[in-house]
């Protein structure tokens, strides 16, 4: 049995006290323990930002790469060794601006990767600039007149691209979040989980209380069917008064790593280089 102790990392945590990241880390570890997956079978690719420090704080294989570039690295890893449980993790700026193009194409590929986005609607690590999910009119040092552009709605984008698993969690509900992460990992395909998270240092609008007053679990609505895409479009747009968390949308489509014929029988990394097989490769050039 895998326990939380197996996921212990001695790397000192460098987040602000009270930051939502602490609960997200806890939820992530809990999900991995619940799934009984040992650390060496887990690989987390992260980007740059406060969220992207997460994999250092648990024991697992880690590739902490570049800002916005988590998903291509994760795609390469998963294709090379699909036996690994691969997660990608970063913040809203990392994933939705710098990594926006990769996000769309990761959805298209439907790799069996679970993508966690810590969405605090602000650039945390660089001290509070406006992010792609900051509210219209959000005032920061980069938008002193207030943000002139409306926020990106990542859930709506994911549903419109027919992402096979679209969910939203809240750092203030770590047990619920652990359940979502666990469900996402078990989903065969690209699982996208946007995680709402207050930034105690820089975002004075979307505070813990602000979220707490609006959050509701979509499962509490018995009429909601996450397989109904039109309903998903509606709920993905809910925001100002009520904010749904839970699985917003899911559908079935074969994952790219399932469709790739080269790795149907064996992980790529386990396929030996057979130099004898190269005889004959020159024939068509004679």
Partner 1 sequence: MALDVTIRIGGRAGQGMQSIGLILGKIFTRQGYYVFIHQDVEARIRGGHSFVQIRIKDEPVYVHSDKVDLLIALDKGSMDQDQPDLAPDDIMIFDVQEMGFTSDNPARLPVPMEQLAMEAGKNKIMANSVATGAALALLGVDLQPLLDRLDEEFSAKGPEIVEKNRNCVSSGYRYIQRHFKGYFPKKIPPAPFKKEKLLLTGSQAMVLGAVCSGLKFYSGYPMSPSTPIMEFVASLGAERGIIVEPAEDEIAAINMVLGASFAGVRAMTATSGGGFCLMVEGLGLAGMTETPAVIVVAQRAGPSTGLPTRTEQADLDFVIHASHGEFPRAVLAPGHAEQAFYTMAKAFNLADRFQSPVIVLGDQHLNDSYFTVDHLDLGRMTIDRGSIIPEEEMASPLEYKRYAWDESGISPRILPGQGKAVLYADSDEHNEAGHITESAMVRKAMVVKRLRKVEGLRREMDPPEVCAEPDADLLLLGWGSTYGALGEAANILTRSGLKTEVWHFCDLFPFPDADLLAQLPEKTQIISVENNSTGQFARLFSGQGGIPIDHQIFKFDGRPFSPRDIVTRVYRAL
Binding site for partner 1 (CB under 8 A): 11, 14, 38-41, 43, 45, 48, 53, 55-56, 59-66, 69, 71-81, 83-84, 101-102, 104-105, 260-263, 268-269, 271, 273, 275, 277-279, 281-282, 285-286
The least distance separating partner 1 from the CB of residue 47, rounded to whole angstroms, comes to 9
Phi-psi region of 190 (alpha: psi -120 to 50; beta: other; left: phi over 0): beta
Q: Which is nearer to partner 1, 51 or 77 (CB)?
A: 77
- How near is the Cβ of 101 to partner 1 at its closest, in Å? 5
What is d(CA 194, CA 199) in angstroms, rounded to the nearest whole number?
15
Q: How far apart are CB 266 and partner 1 at their closest, in Å?
A: 9
Nearer to partner 1, 109 or 235 (CB): 109
Exposed/middle/buried for 224, CB within 10 Å: 0-12, 13-18, 19+? middle
Nearer to partner 1, 45 or 158 (CB): 45
Measured from the CB atom, the residue of 41 and 258 that comes closer to partner 1 is 41
State in angstroms the smallest separation of the CB of 225 from partner 1: 32
Of 135 and 162, which CB lies nearer to partner 1 in the complex structure? Answer: 162
Minimum Å distance from CB 32 to partner 1? 13
d(CA 135, CA 138): 5
Establish how many alpha carbons lie within 13 A of residue 22's alpha carbon, considering only the half-sphere containing its beta carbon.
10
Rounded CA separation 46/28 (Å) = 14
Residue in the block written with tokens 């002139």: 148
Residues 142, 199, 217, 86: is their CA dihedral positive or negative? positive
């Amino acid at each position: 049995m895998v326990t939380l102790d197996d996921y212990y990392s001695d790397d000192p945590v460098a987040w602000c006290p009270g930051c939502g990241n602490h609960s997200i880390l806890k939820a992530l570890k809990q999900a991995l323990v619940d799934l009984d997956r040992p650390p060496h079978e887990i690989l987390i690719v992260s980007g740059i930002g406060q969220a992207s420090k997460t994999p250092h704080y648990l024991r697992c294989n880690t590739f902490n790469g570049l800002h916005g570039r988590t998903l291509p690295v994760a795609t390469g890893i998963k294709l090379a060794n699909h036996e690994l449980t691969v997660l990608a993790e970063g913040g809203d700026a990392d994933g939705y601006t710098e990594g926006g193009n990769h996000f769309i194409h990761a959805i298209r590929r439907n790799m069996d990767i679970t993508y966690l986005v810590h969405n605090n609607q602000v650039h945390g690590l660089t001290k509070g600039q406006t992010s792609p999910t900051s509210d219209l009119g959000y005032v920061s040092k980069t938008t002193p007149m207030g943000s002139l552009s409306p926020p990106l709605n990542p859930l709506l984008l994911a549903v419109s691209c027919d992402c096979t698993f679209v969910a939203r969690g809240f750092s203030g509900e770590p047990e619920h979040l652990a359940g979502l992460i666990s469900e996402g990992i078990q989903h065969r395909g690209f699982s996208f989980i946007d995680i709402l998270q207050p930034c105690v240092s820089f975002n004075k609008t979307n505070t813990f209380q602000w979220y707490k007053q609006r959050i509701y679990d979509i499962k509490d609505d018995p009429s909601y069917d996450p397989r109904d895409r039109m309903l998903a479009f509606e709920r993905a747009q809910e925001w100002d008064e009520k904010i749904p968390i839970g699985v917003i949308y899911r559908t079935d489509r074969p994952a790219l790593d399932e469709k790739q014929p080269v790795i149907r029988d064996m992980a790529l990394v386990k396929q030996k280089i057979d130099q004898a097989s190269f005889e004959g490769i020159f024939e068509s050039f004679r």
